[in-house]
Amino acid sequence: MRIADRYIGWQIFFGTIFAVCLLTVILVMSQVVKEVRPYLVEQGAPLSLLAKFVLYVIPFSLTFTLPWGFLASVLLGFGRLSSNHELISLRMAGMSLTRIAAPVLVLGVLFSCLSYYIVGTVAPIAIAAGSTLPYQAASRDPKVFLNPGVVQAKFPGQKVYIEERDGEKLRGFHLYQLSDAEGNDRPTSYMHAREVDLRVDMEQKQFILTLNGWHFETYKDDGTIELVMAAEAEPWYIDWSNTNKRRTKVDELTNTGIAEQLHDPDTPPDLYKKLNVELHQRRSLSLACFAFALIGIPLGINGQRKETSWGFLASFVVALVYFGGMLFIDPFKESSQSLMVGMIWLPNILCLVLGIWLFRRASLR
């Protein structure tokens, strides 16, 4: 029995490692093309930025590729055992399907524990570190903060839009001063300049703008607007030293950080709900490996009995339904917390129930 355990266990383990590496490379490369390419091509960012991005995005990718790779390995492994009649030989030797599957179920538990550590500790730290990469790229050339055709909301309490830029000349300059430093509140003033001469003070980390043909509007609390117009103005300063300082997002908090805020009586109700939902989502996602073990074993056996070569295709369909079910909660963010938590756990419950039923059917054959 120990020989059979090692044989099946190592087969699934090495198959999982191969599948996870393959899927992670595909997912990481797609993210590189989407997120990092503009910084490398348009801003001339160093290749070290690419290396850092890959390093930071791998833990986040593993939260999906680890369960998916494990499922693919289980499907292929038990499909191979069935098609080579090795499964029949083990059953004839007196081993039940539960006993044969024991090493795989143990691997499912171990991978679920590893997934919980990754999704709850490693991935949030990596996400937080990765979110600063655009600012590291921009620190080489701060003018990227003033690229035309893009609403720039990185300046605290301000939003900037530029129609055209020609070297040190900006045309069609729009600036909104906001009442909230996070950029979420109503504008308190608006400034437009026909043309701007731009200088950069690298030491003070400031943009120095000489405004030509500009007007300035101040919005009063009573709804009135105070208007000021001028042909030329004294230099206007925009500070970009704090562009990388922002509020920490929920997905950037580790499980320990979430638990601390949940036990803090001063945590706002809306934030408490987001934190609790995020924690349940991580726990549910971590259980995917064990749920996939239960459903993957009978599916792998039945698939090969029907002489269909499905392997990765079957794993793709199951993973798509499973992860798609978890992402389906986004439209229900305004719903009650109990409803959202129930929807988060529903894919796991369905996988476990279906897996147990299929596993029992396969055991009785």
Residue 360 reports pLDDT greater than 80: yes
Averaged confidence pLDDT in the chain: 78
Q: What are the C-alpha distances in Å from 215 to residues 107, 192, 195, 218, 222?
A: 67, 6, 11, 10, 21
Give mean pLDDT, residues 316-339. Answer: 72
**DSSP 8-state assignment for residue 152:** B
Query: What are the percentages of helix, strand and coil residues in the chain, rounded to 5?
Result: 60, 15, 20
Q: Which residue has the higher pLDDT, 96 or 67?
A: 67
Percent of the chain with pLDDT over 90: 13
pLDDT for position 110: 95
Residue 254 reports pLDDT greater than 60: yes
Report how far residue 286's alpha carbon sits from residue 109's, in angstroms, rounded to the nearest whole number: 10
Report how far residue 234's alpha carbon sits from residue 229's, in angstroms, rounded to the nearest whole number: 13
Q: Name, of 6-10, 92-96, 167-171, 205-209, the range with top average pLDDT.
A: 6-10
pLDDT band at 38 (very low <50, low <70, confident <90, very high): low
Residue 245 reports pLDDT greater than 60: no
pLDDT for position 182: 52
The pLDDT tens digits for 181-212 are 554 566 778 888 888 887 777 676 777 778 78
Residue 169 reports pLDDT greater than 90: no
From 29-38, 137-146, 216-225, the region with the lowest mean pLDDT? 137-146
Give mean pLDDT, residues 202-224. Answer: 74
Give mean pLDDT, residues 228-242. Answer: 65
**DSSP 8-state assignment for residue 150:** S
